[in-house]
Structure 1
Amino acid sequence: MDIKRRNIQYSKPCPVYLLASLGCVTTLFSEMVCYPLEVIKVKLQMNGTQGCPKYKYMKQFISQTKSIQLYYRGFDAHILKIIPQSTTKIFAYEFIQTAFTGNIVETSFLRKLSTAAAAYGVALLTGNMGDIFRIRLINNQDLSLIQAIQQSYKKTGFNGFFRGYWLNLITITSIQAIEISLFQKFKRFFIHNLALSHNSIITDALTSLITGLTSGILTAPLDGFKTRYMNQFIDQYSYWNTFINLIKEEGFLALYKGTFPYCIKLTIGSTFTFVLYEQFKKQII
């Protein structure tokens, strides 16, 4: 197999900490823009379950939610996830990539996926806690972030901060698998059929949009199940019990609640993050 190796001369040095900072900034910006969709998604996923209010349609929730503050409910917990996770992810990815691929640029799908999954596995050690508290704050209007942390630690101990870790990792790895396998295929299709430039921002944006939409549709059930599971305390139900009870009480289609805002958020978020990151990166390399 012909393997291409790195033979790139950078006009400026680009240390990993700078890439990590750029990754954090672009992720934070895209999450700020898309966070109202995250709130809507979680509300619909938990619709009428575990003591949460019931909404017949997404339009009903929007019509009843007048304050902009409610659309950013739990964003402080989300920041607790974004900042450590996004920076740790890039540090881990660059380290693992160098350790396993050396100066190889183009590698197999399995190698790319393994590297990305390992990096996310490390990053989730810092970000999983923020994910849990974001979901619980969105579903409990009377709870503050400090109270949520204290409540969780009191009832479940330190292990409660890692509730749903493996489910979170599986969801993220599935998204990565879809994006890694489809991104270049979609990009080649647009270049060959629409005569777009390989380095054009329009090409990157269009490819990211289609890839994000596809991964959103395919991984929505995993994300829905993750939300249900993380909203509980660790001493209530296991993965299997949560899944069985959900299917028995609501049917398999319950896993697709909140799919529309989830797909839109993933599509817009991945496009913002990727395009901004690549554009910032071009300015320093």
Structure 2
Amino acid sequence: MSSDPAPKPLPFHYQFIAGAIAGISEILTMYPLDVVKTRAQLSTGTQKVGIVSSLKQIVQSEGVPALYRGILPPIMVEAPKRATKFATNEQYTAMYKKMFGVEKMTQSLAILTGVSAGITEAFLIVPFELVKIRMQDKANYGKYNGTIDTLTKIIRHEGPLALFNGLEATVWRHAAWNGGYFGVIFGVRDVLPKAETKEGQLLINFTAGAIGGTVGTALNTPFDVVKTRIQGYNGTGPRKYNWTLPSVALVAKEEGALALYKGFLPKVLRLGPGGGILLVVFETVSNFIRKNIMKD
């Protein structure tokens, strides 16, 4: 592990900007896989459809724009969401170091700061996630005409509090993902040799972020499945899924434990490389700010 001093911390507003740019870069690159993931998680049947087949079916039956249906809510929230992820992680790091009286980061501290950042992030994104899920659901095809229409109809027919359906599940999902993501990033960077070149550092960042994204996805997919089911409920008929842990148990009982990993492949294909993209862009923008904007 390198003994070089840590990079100079950025002020919160610069962390926010770097996180926002990183988040938008990731979502523009990987979004179609999120549509496939949502469709798989909403399916309660046993039939399995491959990623390529699912993409082909969506394009053939609904057109290419369907691969980006519901992208506006994530784009609207992506900047504050990813900015919150990285900026609050940095803020929690400083807070916990002071609280526990330690100077150097440890893996357990990295996990704790990640979980804390994930919980903070979850409260911000719930309404946007709910609108996105409703728009991505094939069963709602033709029901909603864009983001504003979806938002308006949810509020009109289900009440404004419906926008926060799935909050508890979202907290579980983001706490698990962020804890795994930042904890693994610390561990991978700790064991890899120090990069000698700029390209080598980019490779280390992408590797650490991609492994972190993969582990985070493995940890949080069951919570993501039930979050999708909870937010997919549109107020018609009895509510089947409500609280997270009972819903996890119900899905496992009725559909088998593997059903808790529905949509895992498209999700991990998005958030594995996506986690690498996030970290590379965040670190690149942060270093640019340090060198060109925060000159001593």
Question: What TM-score, normalized to structure 2?
Answer: 0.79
Q: Does 1:141 align with 2:141?
A: yes
Cα RMSD after superposing both structures: 3.1
2:15 corresponds to which residue?
19
2:56 corresponds to which residue?
63
2:116 corresponds to which residue?
118
* 1:122-178 deviation digits (Å, cap 9, x = unpaired): 333321111111111001222122222122223443322221112111111112222
After superposition, where does 1:252-263 map in structure 2 within 5 Å? 252-263=257-268
Question: Is the deviation greater in 212-221 or in 132-141?
Answer: 212-221
Q: How much has 1:8 moved relative to structure 2?
A: 6.4
1:150 corresponds to which residue?
152
Structure-2 separation of matches of 1:147 and 1:241: 32
Q: Does 1:130 align with 2:128?
A: yes
Q: 1:97 to 1:185 in 2, by over 3 A?
A: closer
Q: How many residues were matched structurally?
A: 272
After superposition, where does 1:61-210 map in structure 2 within 5 Å? 61-66=54-59, 67-102=63-98, 105-139=103-137, 140-142=140-142, 143=144, 144-191=146-193, 197=196, 200-210=201-211
Conservation of the 8 A alpha-carbon contact between 1:113 and 1:173: no
Q: 1:83 to 1:201 in 2, by over 3 A?
A: closer
Q: How much has 1:90 moved relative to structure 2?
A: 4.5
Q: Does 1:35 align with 2:34?
A: no
Q: 1:204 to 1:92 in 2, by over 3 A?
A: closer
Structure-1 separation of matches of 2:87 and 2:190: 29
Question: What TM-score, normalized to structure 1?
Answer: 0.81
SS in 1 for 2:141: coil
Q: How much has 1:243 moved relative to structure 2?
A: 4.1
Question: Is the deviation greater in 66-75 or in 259-268?
Answer: 66-75
Q: 1:210 to 1:116 in 2, by over 3 A?
A: closer
Conservation of the 8 A alpha-carbon contact between 2:184 and 2:208: no
Structure-2 separation of matches of 1:153 and 1:43: 23
* 1:220-272 deviation digits (Å, cap 9, x = unpaired): 22222221121114772422664455344422222121111011111111100
Structure-2 separation of matches of 1:185 and 1:97: 16
Gaps of 5+ in 2: 291-296
Conservation of the 8 A alpha-carbon contact between 1:97 and 1:115: yes
2:215 corresponds to which residue?
214
Conservation of the 8 A alpha-carbon contact between 2:222 and 2:248: no
Gaps of 5+ in 1: none
SS in 2 for 1:238: coil
